Amino acid sequence: MTPLIAADRLTKWYGPRLALDGVSFEVMPGEVMGLLGPNGSGKSTILRILTGYLRPSAGTARLAGLDVVDDSLECRRRVGYVPEDAPLYEWMTVQELLGFMARVKGLAAGTTREAVARAMDRLALGPVAPMLIGKLSRGYRQRVAIAQALLNDPDLLVLDEPTNGLDPRQIIEMRELIRSVAGDHTVLVTSHILGEIEKVADRVAVLLGGRLLAVHALRASGDGQRLRLRVRGVADGVQACLERVPGVQRVTVAPEFRTDLATYLVEADEIPVAEALAAALVGGGFGLLEMGTAPTDLERLFLELTHEQAAA
Amino acid sequence: MRNFGTLLLKEEKAIFSSPIAYAIVSVFLLLMGYTFTSFLFLNRRGDLVHIFFQAAMLFLLIVPVVTMRLLAEERRAGTLELLLTAPVREIEIVLAKFVASMTLLTVMLLLSVTYPVVLGIYGEPDWGPIYSGFLGLLLLGGALVSIGLVVSGLTSNQIVAAVIALGAGILLWVIDTLGHLLPDPWDTILTSLSIVAHFTPFATGALFLSDLGFFLTIVLAGLLLSVRSLARR
Name the residue range of residue A226's domain: 221-311
Interface-testing mutation among B15, B80, B85, B97, with chain A (most A C-beta atoms within 10 A): B85
Q: What is the pLDDT of residues A116-158, one digit of tens each?
A: 999 999 898 999 999 999 999 988 999 999 999 999 999 999 9
Do residues A168 and A238 both lie within one domain? Answer: no
Final residue of a domain: which of A146, A178, A208? A208
Taking CA A81 as the corner, what is the angle to CA A28 and CA A25, rounded to the nearest 5 degrees?
A: 30
* Contact between chains at B85 and A76 (C-beta distance less than 8 A): yes
In a domain, A131, yes or no: yes
Set of chain A residues whose Cβ sits within 8 Å of the Cβ of B84: 52-53
Please give the Cα distance from B150 to B169 (Å, whole number).
12
Q: What is the pLDDT of residues A60-104, one digit of tens each?
A: 999 999 999 999 999 999 999 999 989 999 999 999 999 999 999
In the 8-state DSSP scheme, what is residue A268? E
Strands (E), chain B: none
Is the preceding omega at residue A83 within 30 degrees of 0, hence cis?
Answer: no
SS3 content of chain A, % helix, strand, coil (to 5): 35, 30, 35
Set of chain B residues whose Cβ sits within 8 Å of the Cβ of A106: 2-3, 87
* Contact between chains at B78 and A53 (C-beta distance less than 8 A): no
- What's the whole-number average pLDDT of chain A? 88
- Nearest chain B residue (CA) to A50: B85
CATH value at residue A307? 3.30.70.260
ipTM: 0.87
SS3 content of chain B, % helix, strand, coil (to 5): 80, 0, 20
Name the residue range of residue B172's domain: 4-231
Set of chain A residues whose Cβ sits within 8 Å of the Cβ of B78: 83, 85, 87
Do residues A233 and A204 both lie within one domain? Answer: no
Structural domain total, chain A: 2
Q: Of A89, A91, A105, which is closest to B86 when you measure between CB atoms?
A: A105
- Nearest chain B residue (CA) to A76: B87
In a domain, A87, yes or no: yes
Do residues A35 and A143 both lie within one domain? Answer: yes
Do residues A115 and A9 both lie within one domain? Answer: yes
- Nearest chain B residue (CA) to A86: B78
Looking at residues B109-119, what average pLDDT do you find? Answer: 93
Please give the Cα distance from B109 to B135 (Å, whole number).
10
Do residues A199 and A176 both lie within one domain? Answer: yes
Looking at residues A11-15, what average pLDDT do you find? Answer: 93
Q: What is the pLDDT of residues A237-280, one digit of tens each?
A: 999 999 999 888 888 888 787 778 888 988 887 667 888 999 99
